[in-house]
Amino acid sequence: MSRIIVVTSGKGGVGKTTTSAAIATGLALRGKRTAVVDFDIGLRNLDIIMGCERRVVYDFVNVIQGEARLRQALIKDKRLENLSILPASQTRDKTALTLEGVKKVLDELSADFDVIVCDSPAGIEHGAFAAMYWADEAIVVTNPEVSSVRDSDRIIGLLASKTKRAIDGDAPVREHLLLSRYDARRAKRGEMLSVADVLEILAIPLLGVIPESPAVLESSNSGTPVVLNGRSEAGEAYLEAVERLLGRDVPHRFLNGKPRGILSRLFGN
Amino acid sequence: MRILEYFLPTKRSAATAKDRLQIVIARERAQVSAQDYLPSLQKDLIDVIRKYVTVEDGQVQLQVDHVDGCDVLEINVQLPPPRRSMARI
Ligand SMILES: Nc1ncnc2c1ncn2[C@@H]1O[C@H](COP(=O)(O)OP(=O)(O)OP(=O)(O)O)[C@@H](O)[C@H]1O
Ligand SMILES: [Mg+2]
């Protein structure tokens, strides 16, 4: 049985796809056979972030509707042999993802992969629901901002009531908070919600803190997941989170930002 | 210019953000959990009330509010005009 991890948030644009790509790639780097699945039907994006957009032939919906085999639609990553991507359809609407259809694909992936990462669309409608329904674990991506934290709280409520595990009364979906686009300096100055504030409100375990970082845009420009794109703070923070997902108790290095010299404090950003 | 920021007062709005979040989230958590049981509670209440008076479905309204840190269940029953209920007795 593989671990099914949904990356979800409620609010749009908080970093779900960036996170799905980074975490899946990090898990593959650590030797896990990993598949990352794009549930954002109609707005395919994961292929761009993973850099495989020109190799998409068939997609998730084709597989569900029996128009293609799973192995025809899966794209093997060129950099890591134990990493594959299942792209979303650009043309269909979200209702093409039936719960039973999704289940069939996840079951088939389970035979070949240790971890399945599901990149959820924004919102709390059908697509987001389909992405979370079968999950064992959830990474709740949150930005230190009122609307994002509020939407995360809604998503946490849905994980606890509307997933297969909740409905069957099984062990609940394991939740992880990933606080992204964090600026420790602004939090310290009281201009931004701090890690502690968000943890106090959402009250789920902290998987990691990803700093606001220019490396994320650079990575998406070149189609290289940020964990593979040289050494960047965001990349390292994601790798740290991967270690925690693998059960290692590593210290949080990005809670307080990087120590800075007096010159960079005055003139840097 | 960060050198200037050092001498200008900064806006410490994070505390405001946290206060607003705590209030709105407490209210929404109560509403969301109420959404799960309100429809069936409403149905049961209508059945009970109909044992005594004639009411339409829309005349029994339920609502959960968050007042002074407490969740309050508000039940509003609009009774029929007195003559009609007299006629039933
Ligand atoms: N740590 C970060 N630092 C800087 N920019 C970031 C960071 N994380 C994400 N971004 C930027 O935020 C934007 C949204 O990211 P992403 O597409 O991953 O979000 P999403 O939650 O998947 O969006 P959607 O809800 O539309 O699917 C992108 O432009 C991305 O480059
Ligand atoms: Mg996305």
Query: Is the Cβ atom of A209 under 6 angstroms away from ligand 1?
Result: no
Query: Is the Cβ atom of A15 under 6 angstroms away from ligand 1?
Result: yes
Ligand 1 binding pocket mutation candidate from A8, A16, A18 (most atoms within 8 A of CB): A18
Q: By CB neighbour count within 10 A (0-12 exposed, 13-18 middle, 19+ buried), where does A247 fall?
A: exposed
Looking at this predicted complex, what is its ipTM? 0.82
Section B2-21 average pLDDT: 76
In 3D, which of A5, A22, A35 has the Cα closest to residue A241? A22
pLDDT tens string A157-206? 999 999 999 999 999 999 999 999 999 999 999 999 999 999 999 999 99
With beta carbons under 8 A apart, name residues in chain A contacting B9: none
Q: Are A94 and A121 in contact (CB under 8 A)?
A: yes
pLDDT tens string A224-258? 999 998 789 999 999 999 999 999 999 998 888 76
d(CA A198, CA B61): 36
Q: B30: CA distance to ligand 1 center in Å?
A: 31
Query: Is the Cβ atom of A216 under 6 angstroms away from ligand 1?
Result: yes
DSSP string, A98-156: -HHHHHHHHHHHHTT-SEEEEEPPSSSSHHHHHHHHT-SEEEEEE-SSHHHHHHHHHHH
Query: Is the Cβ atom of A99 under 6 angstroms away from ligand 1?
Result: no
Model pTM? 0.86
Question: Contact A187/B14, CB-based, under 8 Å?
Answer: yes
- Of the pLDDT bands very low, low, confident and very high (cuts 50, 70, 90), residue B72 is confident
Residues of chain B with a CB closer than 8 angstroms to some CB in chain A: 2-3, 6, 10-15, 17-18, 20-22, 24-25, 28-29, 32, 36
- What mean pLDDT is reported for chain B? 80
pLDDT tens string A55-109? 999 999 999 999 999 999 999 999 999 999 999 998 777 788 999 999 999 999 9
Nearest atom (ligand 1) to Cα of A211: 1
Write down the pLDDT at residue A218.
94
Is the pLDDT at B70 greater than 60? The verdict is yes
Any chain B CB within 8 A of the CB of A183? Answer: no
Contacting residues for A92 by C-beta, under 8 A, at least 6 apart: A41, A42, A61
Query: Strand A83-86 vs strand A75-76: parallel, antiparallel, or unpaired?
Result: antiparallel
pLDDT: which is higher, A256 or A116: A116
What amino acid occupies position A142? T
Write down the pLDDT at residue B79.
87
Instruction: Tell me the sheet residues that pair with A115.
Output: A3, A34
HSE (side-chain half, CA atoms, 13 Å) at A35: 25
Q: By CB neighbour count within 10 A (0-12 exposed, 13-18 middle, 19+ buried), where does B64 fall?
A: middle
Comparing CB atoms, the residue among B12, B14, B36 nearest residue A197 is: B14
Question: Contact A187/B29, CB-based, under 8 Å?
Answer: no
Of all residues in chain B, the one with the smallest CA distance to A162 is B36
pLDDT tens string A119-162? 999 999 999 999 999 999 999 999 999 999 999 999 999 999 99
Write down the pLDDT at residue B30.
81
pLDDT: which is higher, A74 or B59: A74
Write down the pLDDT at residue A268.
45
d(CA A250, CA A240): 7
**For the CA of A8, the nearest ligand:** 1
Tokens found for residue B47: 């059945």
